[in-house]
Structure 1
Amino acid sequence: MTSQIVSASSLFFAPFNPNIYSNKLVFSMTPQIPKIQFIPQFNVNTHGLIDLSKRPTKIIEQRDIITEIQPLVSELITEQKEILPLIEKPQTTKTILITHEGFKPQTLNIHQGETVQWINKRPQTKSLVYGVRSLSNMRSPMLEQDQTFTWDFNSKGTFVYVDSVVIGRIGKIIVE
């Protein structure tokens, strides 16, 4: 009777196979390093436990499993149910007027995701809206009378902006 060398891993026992394992350590504390990924199928007794007195019935390479599953996945994908469109909250736009007296309102409270629109209402003076500090990437084009500039506020915080044409004109937007 020939004895078979059995190797141990952290989860199961399997007969040693030189095509699968890279070393011959028997019941070593270091895990065996498989050359290919495989899943052993053990015999299960009536109590649902693995019967280690018998050899595994079959060793399936992982490649085989993937090719067996792919047709099943394709069948599931073709049986998709109707997907209802996502109902989005309507975009809210708040308006700030640019006047000779400054921004109106000077402080504006909005919710995250809302848009702010600036309208230049000065008859003969252009306007250039610049964000400062955490809003420094916001820059409007030069706004003539009645021209607009919009900006989406997707982050919560307090944001300061200025009119770079008329010195001293400062506004603030608080996003909740």
Structure 2
Amino acid sequence: MNIKKSIKIALAALFVAVTPTFAQLPDNDNDQTDEIDNYDFLYSEDGNVDNYDVASMENLMDEAFSLIGTRYRSGASGPGGFDCSGFTSYLYKQMGIDLNRSSRGQYTQGEAVASSNLQTGDLVFFTSPRSGKGIGHVGIVVDYDPMNGNFSFIHASIKGVKVSQSTEPYYSRRYVGARRITQ
């Protein structure tokens, strides 16, 4: 079994394992409202499901996950290798959206998003590992947990394209902010 398929199976198993836990939580209207508000991006202004956004994010994530394990190459923008901003710009290009080729440039695009309002597809930014200052790394939100504020993100790390967690010490202390890219 290849690593991509293994990761998809592991994520599905995690979802199945966690779902019963959430089903047993006490009925609290405020918690439910907070959770519902997190999915507002799925709806157009008239309250109907905006299928384009859902389909686009599904396609973005499918493409991103198909690239797990692709090697890191400084200055590369795929599909045989990526650096972090090359990975994000490549994926958004598949959706017809041009992103700046640097993580610093991408941090100026779209609109700022509070960490409490993250959604799948948002770009998340981290300080430079060398200086600890300025924007030096970017990834794409895979999943956000409104219960604890943690998120997972897919990115081109020095070890290749992979999924990481915001709770990992390396990333938790370097998190700077997020941007939502729209057409």
When normalised by structure 2's length, the TM-score is 0.19
Q: Pick the structure with greater CA Rg.
A: 1
The structure with higher relative contact order (CA 8 Å, sep 6+) is 2
Looking at secondary structure, tell me which structure has more strand per residue: 1
Q: Give the TM-score normalised by the residue count of structure 1.
A: 0.20
- Relative to its length, the structure with more helix (as a share) is 2
